[in-house]
Structure 1
Amino acid sequence: MACRFVSARGGVDMRLIPLLLLLLLLAASLAMVTRAAWVGDYASDHMCGRTFVEEHCDPADTTANHACSDACHYNGCGGGRCVYLGSGGVGSARGCHCLP
């Protein structure tokens, strides 16, 4: 008899639960590794209340803003956000501003 996804009673086949849990764990671990790689790219020698140049920072990218905030938080600051430096145009330099 072939393995079915749905039992005759309409519920989920209990043999699929371990597979589903494994897939969920794999997806969560991949998300953490990706985010950790962003944070590792940021400098760790900046001070709170200052902005440091960081080419990976992009104010329009949610992941980059989270990484900037995490990098600032790990250095004892109150978080941070990506900003454009100079004239503020899209092509200008970018940086991470750490909150006090």
Structure 2
Amino acid sequence: MGNDILYLPIISTVEDELGQVEEVEDFSRQVFCEKKSIPQNEFFQAGQSGIKASCVLVVSLFDYQEETKAKYREKIYSVYRTYERPDERIELYCEVKAGG
């Protein structure tokens, strides 16, 4: 497994003084990951759907809990697709979110 660190969000709900509830994402859950580049065909297919594929982050299947966002090297990514591998790892196909 790679020795890069990926941060997954812990989501909590906070109520403000007006009684409005909002979700707060705290990217504090650390897991090990390995970064791979997006395969050419994936980049093309994602692009046809309007997705700007950025990278593939591989994590242990046991570390991943269906998160739709991840923070890697100070960038917040949106997970648009996953692929479960036979070696108990899962590939997270990511795009950079605007303003992230």
**TM-score w.r.t. structure 1 length?**
0.31
Indicate the structure with greater helix content: 1
